[in-house]
Amino acid sequence: MVRPKKHLGQHFLRDENIARKTADIVDRTELKNWLEIGPGTGVLTQFLLTKDIDLEVAEIDTESVVYLKKHYPDLVIHEGDFLEMDTSNWPDELGVIGNFPYNISSQIVFKILEHTDRIPVFAGMFQLEVAQRLAANPGNKTYGILSVLTQAFYDVKVEFKIAPGAFFPPPKVQSAVITAIRHNRPLNADRTLFFDVVKTAFQQRRKMLSNALQKFNLDSGHPELKHFLKLRAENLGVEDFAKLTDWIRKNTG
Ligand code: SAH
């Protein structure tokens, strides 16, 4: 037994059917290489290991690593913080899967988004609110930075919800499994500036963009901009943000 540690966001799956269903997501793709984040005691890992894939895992908890080495001696384990993981040796195409530690779930997604060129798919468990945020459309109350940046590269689907009782210890929140499949629709905007514009716009999500985007010194009277700047960040979809970003690149110095 591994004692669950709160500071590592450890909620171990008790419900093997959910673990199996989550692992089955890999059957929907042709991807060979997969990385599981946070295998813990291997509840999900055991089902992933039945698949015709090359699986490696990243786990920060020493006690879990000892457990995994004992029970799965052939498993390749990267011991340490996924957020600090060296990505230079990653294969050209890598699927990411896991029952993600909820305390760092946004940071995990941001790290994945740094490597969209090599991650065609990511899937797994998030707290429901984060899952809904990843999939949210403009105007939705959970729509935010994570929604726009993720959907700029991936089609996100909330697959199924999970009650707290499926885990030990039960988390305080509902959970959900999502799939994010890279869509390969081009962004049509400078990526770095796009990230900057989206993050800046949502820092003051209740304000009109003319206020929220002040740091870009936009000409709010410009005919192409007027329409955007009266809106709020939460009203703009990915393509709107891309258009706005491209306008900023062309018109500001
Ligand atoms: N997959 C297991 C455990 C999920 S709990 C199950 O479903 O039962 C989340 C797991 O993520 C824990 O094993 C925890 O130790 C691990 N973890 C937490 N922070 C991490 C980090 N920064 N990098 C890698 N793993 C992490």
Long-range CB pairs of 54-58, under 8 A, 24+ apart, other chains included:
58/82, 58/85
CATH number at residue 213: 1.10.8.100
Residues 6+ apart with CB under 8 A from 59: 38, 39, 40, 65, 68, 77, 78, 79
Cβ atoms of 205 and 144 closer than 8 Å: yes
Residues 50-69 have pLDDT tens digits of 999 999 999 999 999 999 99
Whether ligand 1 lies within 6 angstroms of the CB of 104 is answered as: yes
Whether ligand 1 lies within 6 angstroms of the CB of 40 is answered as: yes
Model-level pTM?
Answer: 0.96
9: CA distance to ligand 1 center in Å?
7
The residue from 152, 182, 212 where one domain ends is 182
Nearest CA to ligand 1 atom 3: 40
Whether ligand 1 lies within 6 angstroms of the CB of 22 is answered as: no
Tens-digit pLDDT string for the chain (253 aa)? 889 999 999 999 999 999 999 999 999 999 999 999 999 999 999 999 999 999 999 999 999 999 999 999 999 999 999 999 999 999 999 999 999 999 999 999 999 999 999 999 999 999 999 999 999 999 999 999 999 999 999 999 999 999 999 999 999 999 999 999 999 899 999 999 999 999 999 999 899 999 999 999 888 788 888 888 999 999 999 999 999 999 999 887 6
- Beta-bridge partner residues of 174: none
Mark whether 116 and 207 lie in a shared domain. no
The residue from 128, 162, 182 where one domain ends is 182
Mark whether 70 and 126 lie in a shared domain. yes
Count of alpha carbons within 13 Å of 215, Cβ hemisphere only? 10
| Structural domain span for residue 221 | 191-251
CATH number at residue 78: 3.40.50.150
The residue from 161, 182, 203 where one domain ends is 182
Q: Give me the phi and psi of 86, to 5 degrees please.
A: -70, 120
Residues 142-167 have pLDDT tens digits of 999 999 999 999 999 999 999 999 99
Q: Which of 3, 61, 100, 109 to mutate to test the pocket of ligand 1 (most atoms within 8 A of CB)?
A: 61
- Domains in the chain: how many in total? 2
Nearest CA to ligand 1 atom 6: 12
- The three-class DSSP label of residue 43 is coil
